[in-house]
Amino acid sequence: MTADYRSFYRHRKVMITGGLGFIGSNLARQLVELGADVLLVDSMIPDYGGNFFNIQGIEDRVRVNVADIRQESTMNYLVRNRAVIFNLAGQVSHIDSMRDPYTDLEINCRSQLSILEACRRHNPDVRVVFAGTRQVYGKPDFLPVTERHLVSPTDVNGINKAAGENYHLLYNHVFGIRACSLRLTNVYGPRQLVKHNRQGFIGWFIRTAVEGGEIQIYGDGSQLRDFVYVDDAADAFLRAGASDACNGEAFNVGGQSPISHRELVALLLDLAGAGRVTFVEWPAEKKAIDIGNFYADSSKFNAAVGWEPKVSLREGFERTIAFYREHLARYLNPVPEDLAGIL
């Protein structure tokens, strides 16, 4: 796939669920620069990451609808006439899913059916790109993990995300709703939720470093992970949304190379010039659902659309640290004027 996938979005009507969240808002920024007609849908549920400050500077170039994707009548209306739907809305906290499995079920399963049924009945020609997760694999049997690996989640969130993904693939195969899933690894970067640590450790580590605090690493820090900068993740969605080569498939979207938690934090603290690290015992509730070492093989997606991560971890950290040094307060205590010009 050449750069033509970017020109595909000029004047194209697109919708992003979870559009005021981390990945959704960064994707929106790329889409408006490409000349797309962008509708952002977000429930703004507290602690889920939606933040009006995320679209500062593009407020007048997008349309925002504050709505819950579980509302069938609303989805029936919003999906009409959209050429591409980037379906990023979801509950992503593994810990929260274990504490409140019913809410996770509602958001990550039932709501996905609401969107897909709305598409089937009111916009069957749409293309849908679902934000999947590497969590569906559970503890890997081999590394790097390919899409041929068994799907065996270790927590409620992983189970429900796997179900949501399979709904999309089913609707592709049976009803002709062109849909695919991107199984994201650890995405990081500007506009990520950092108010609490229940949506993954990387955002919390970055906030702690920016504040000069103490980063706690569980165990000895030898566990391996791969990381994807948010602009690279957004580019993956753009490529998938513009290509029929992805229809009916699930793809890994992983980082350049794995790195241990110990090495990751050392790099982060060096770039931040602040903070410190300690090693602590695993909390029982987190150890029970930890997947150990994990890094993905993204060669299937590369073969389909030519995607590969471009931003190194060092460069990504530098950009992210600079962003939060300037804007951290907006992500800890959003202020009323963030609503100005939007609602």
Give the chain's end-to-end CA distance (angstroms, integer): 38
**Residue range 219-246: mean pLDDT, rounded:** 97
Q: Give me the pLDDT at residue 304, please.
A: 98
Q: 3-class DSSP state for residue 167?
A: helix
- Topology adopted by domain 4-339: Rossmann fold (3.40.50)
Rounded distance between C-alpha atoms, residue 222 and residue 218, angstroms: 9
Residue owning tokens 């007609």 = 37
Residue 135, number of CB atoms within 10 A of its CB: 23
Per-chain mean pLDDT for the chain: 93
- If phi > 0 it is left, if psi is from -120 to 50 it is alpha, else beta; for residue 341 that is left
Q: 3-class DSSP state for residue 183?
A: strand
User: For 76-135, what is each residue's pLDDT tens digit?
Assistant: 999 999 999 999 998 877 778 888 999 888 888 999 999 999 999 999 999 999 999 999
Break the chain into its structural domains and give their ranges: 4-339
User: For 315-342, what is each residue's pLDDT tens digit?
Assistant: 999 999 999 999 999 999 765 455 444 4
Q: Give me the pLDDT at residue 341, please.
A: 44
User: For 255-293, what is each residue's pLDDT tens digit?
Assistant: 999 999 999 999 999 999 999 999 999 888 778 778 889
| Residue 343: band (very low, low, confident or very high) from pLDDT cuts 50, 70, 90 | very low
Looking at the chain, the whole-number percentage of residues with pLDDT higher than 70 is: 96
Rounded distance between C-alpha atoms, residue 317 and residue 202, angstroms: 10
